[in-house]
Amino acid sequence: MNYELIDSYPFYVEPFHVDFRGNIFLSILGNHMLNAAGNHSQKRGWGIATLNESQHTWVLSRLSIEMNEMPRQYEHCEVRTWVESVKRYFTKRNFSIHRADGTPLGYARSVWAMIDLETRKPCDLLTLFDGDILNYVTPEDHKEPYSSEGGWKEAVCPIEGHGRFRFRDPEHLRTIDTHYSDVDINGHVNSMKYIEHILDLFPRERFEKQQVRRIEIAYKAESYFGDRLSFYSQPVSNDETDIEVRKQTRSEADGTTSQEQGETPSSPASERNEEVVCQAKVCFKD
């Protein structure tokens, strides 16, 4: 039995990584998860640097984070991560977030595709590197020793899977241009920046009384430095809101954007020359 399926990524909650209530920003927590995932992959020969040599890279497709409690300013915490399953075009990676003493604070699920850097098309994960990735699939009841303090790390992720989104006439809330600080080394708007922009749609009162219990995101298309993003909101209940993020596609004829062409924000994305970039569900709790 392989005892090295679950990785631990320790992090410290820095003073400027928390919101006005002292809870870590979800975008910062998500960034720690991406780092944990990157390290886990790299150690097993599936890191981005290795993949780039064969013209491949990972693309994050879905992410759902559900927190019972948020890491607080000055806390020492860790992200654990493992591979739940691998299919031809997708692999599922889970996470759990813990205090340094092992107390679980929350969990996350993610779905990743592998693409060819030239064609941008998905690759068959089961044949790449002779199916080596199957060596890292972690059975649901798997646990392994937690070396530094005794105890066990368990591949447990007791949160719901990713849901489906159905938008019917969502309300236009905000349109922003994307800038220098939004984009990563690939020139794409960083996946965690979408989380920031989405949470920035909610007013101060919401965060004073409540905190985010769960956020789900489906990444649909890349956006780039200078793209104009529009945010649409659809309330599901008092505590639950679906958000659709669309980018304006430029008209090939004259270079104007769909908004400059005077289309109304309430028409569906396809009619407005808009493309859906991502969809999200934000659930608050008291």
- Residues in a beta bridge with 280: 217, 243
Buried-exposed string 193-230: b where 16+ CB fall within 10 A, e elsewhere: bbbbbbbebbeeebbeeebbbbbbbbbeebbeeebbbb
Question: Binding marks (x or -) toward its own copies, 77..116, rule CB under 8 A?
Answer: ----------------------------------------
- The least distance separating its own copies from the CB of residue 179, rounded to whole angstroms, comes to 4
CA distances to 32, 110, 117 from 89, rounded to whole Å, are 25, 14, 15
- Specify whether the CB–CB gap between 273 and 249 falls below 8 A: yes
Q: Residue 94: in which H helix or E strand, if any?
A: strand 91-99
Residue 204 binds to its own copies (criterion: CB under 8 A): yes
State the amino acid at position 227 in one-letter form: D
CB of 171 to its own copies, least distance (A): 18
Q: d(Cα 125, Cα 120) in Å, to the nearest integer?
A: 15
* Cβ pair 114, 51 in contact under 8 A: yes
Of the candidates 84, 196, 239, 275, which one interacts with its own copies according to CB under 8 A?
196
Could you tell me which stretch among 76-84, 188-196, 239-247, 259-267 binds its own copies (CB under 8 A)?
Answer: 188-196
Interface with its own copies, residue 130, by CB under 8 A: no
| Shortest Å, Cβ 180 to its own copies | 5
Using the rule CB under 8 A, which residue among 69, 140, 171, 184 binds its own copies?
A: 184
Q: Which is nearer to its own copies, 129 or 202 (CB)?
A: 202
Can residue 76 be called a binding residue for its own copies (CB under 8 A)?
no
Q: Which of 36, 157, 192, 276 binds its own copies (CB under 8 A)?
A: 192
- Report if residue 259 touches its own copies, rule: CB under 8 A: no
For its own copies, the closer of residues 190 and 248 by Cβ is 190
Is 136 in a helix, a strand, or coil?
helix
